[in-house]
């Protein structure tokens, strides 16, 4: 198998990293075998001025990984139920990360199906095994123990892969109560493994909830930070 992406890949502006991550391959080498799949959906969380970023209230014990070395993982427990996987980005000291939201399964499908099957039920279709950030970590066996792991040295790594600019779409992030104005979700539009309400955004439809007017505070805090906008 190819070598993991180097640390320099992550030490860049977060929207650039987010775009570049679509099409790469997420790999988890563990005792049960190798799990792998193509990343098809990500979201950027950038800095203390981003109200949805865990660094929005400044440094705390939980968000310490965001402030640390790029190329490491930030895994946290969401809703007390799901472990969500982030790749830490930007220079050391700048809190930012890319949330990995969906993957197209390629290797280790049998293990993924087992992990994603509850009770005696039939497993989800292949395209749904790693669709959604919580489903993805469950299928890949990624837990809180992987927090602050190193994507350069494993056991969880990310490997080279590309998709054409024409194949990706930028949309608002999903499931937030704040920071919905930022168009920082990047998806491989054609992929059946992309999460979110059926037909939403990947086919250019409207957002699921009407956008709330941006609060004055958000606008003000935004002024300081450099404009980071996707080119497509």
Partner DNA sequence: TATAGGATTGCC
Partner DNA sequence: GCAATCCTATAG
Best CA proximity match to 48, nearest among 204, 167, 224, 231: 224
Q: Whose Cβ is closer to DNA: residue 126's or residue 160's?
A: 126
Nearer CB in complex with DNA: 164/213: 213
Treating both helix axes as pointing N-terminal to C-terminal, what angle do 133-140 and 109-116 enclose, rounded to 10 degrees? Answer: 120
Near DNA by CB under 7 A: residue from 3, 31, 93, 118: 118
With vertex at residue 44, the alpha carbon angle to CA 41 and CA 46, rounded to the nearest 5 degrees, is 175
Question: Interface mask (CB under 7 A) for DNA, residues 171-210, using x and -?
Answer: --xxxxxx----------------x---------------
Question: Count of residues binding DNA (CB under 7 A)?
Answer: 38
Tell me how far apart the alpha carbons of residues 99 and 18 are, in angstroms, rounded to a whole number.
9
Choose between 61 and 206: whose C-beta lies nearer to DNA. Answer: 61
Is 68 one of the binding residues for DNA (CB under 7 A)?
no
Q: Pick from 115, 164, 185, 140: which is nearest to 27 by CA?
A: 140
- Which residue from 30, 82, 159, 160 is in contact with DNA, where contact means CB under 7 A? 82
Cβ contact 61:148 at 8 Å? no
Q: Return residues touching DNA (CB under 7 A).
A: 43, 45, 52-54, 57, 60-63, 66, 74, 77-82, 84, 86, 97, 99, 116, 118, 121, 124, 132-136, 173-178, 195
């Amino acid at each position: 198998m190819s070598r993991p992406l180097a640390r320099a890949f992550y030490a860049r502006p977060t929207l650039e990293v987010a775009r570049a991550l679509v099409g790469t391959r997420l790999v988890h080498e563990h005792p049960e075998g190798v799990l792998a799949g193509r990343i098809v959906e990500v979201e950027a969380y950038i800095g203390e001025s981003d109200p949805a970023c865990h660094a929005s209230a400044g440094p705390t014990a939980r968000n310490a990984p965001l402030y640390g070395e790029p190329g490491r993982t930030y895994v946290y427990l969401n809703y007390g139920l799901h472990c969500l996987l982030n790749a830490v980005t930007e220079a050391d000291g700048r809190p930012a990360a890319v949330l990995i939201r969906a993957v197209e399964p390629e290797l280790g499908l049998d293990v993924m199906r087992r992990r994603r099957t509850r009770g005696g039920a039939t497993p989800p279709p292949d395209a749904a095994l790693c669709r959604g950030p919580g489903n993805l970590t469950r299928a890949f066996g990624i837990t809180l123990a992987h927090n602050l792991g190193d994507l350069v040295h494993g056991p969880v790594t990310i490997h080279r892969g590309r998709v054409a600019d024409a194949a990706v779409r930028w949309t608002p992030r999903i499931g937030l109560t704040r920071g919905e104005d930022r168009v920082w979700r990047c998806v491989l539009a054609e992929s059946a493994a992309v999460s979110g309400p059926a037909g939403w955004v990947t086919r250019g439809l409207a957002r699921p909830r009407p956008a709330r007017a941006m609060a004055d505070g958000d606008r003000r805090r935004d002024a300081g930070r450099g404009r980071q906008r996707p080119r497509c």
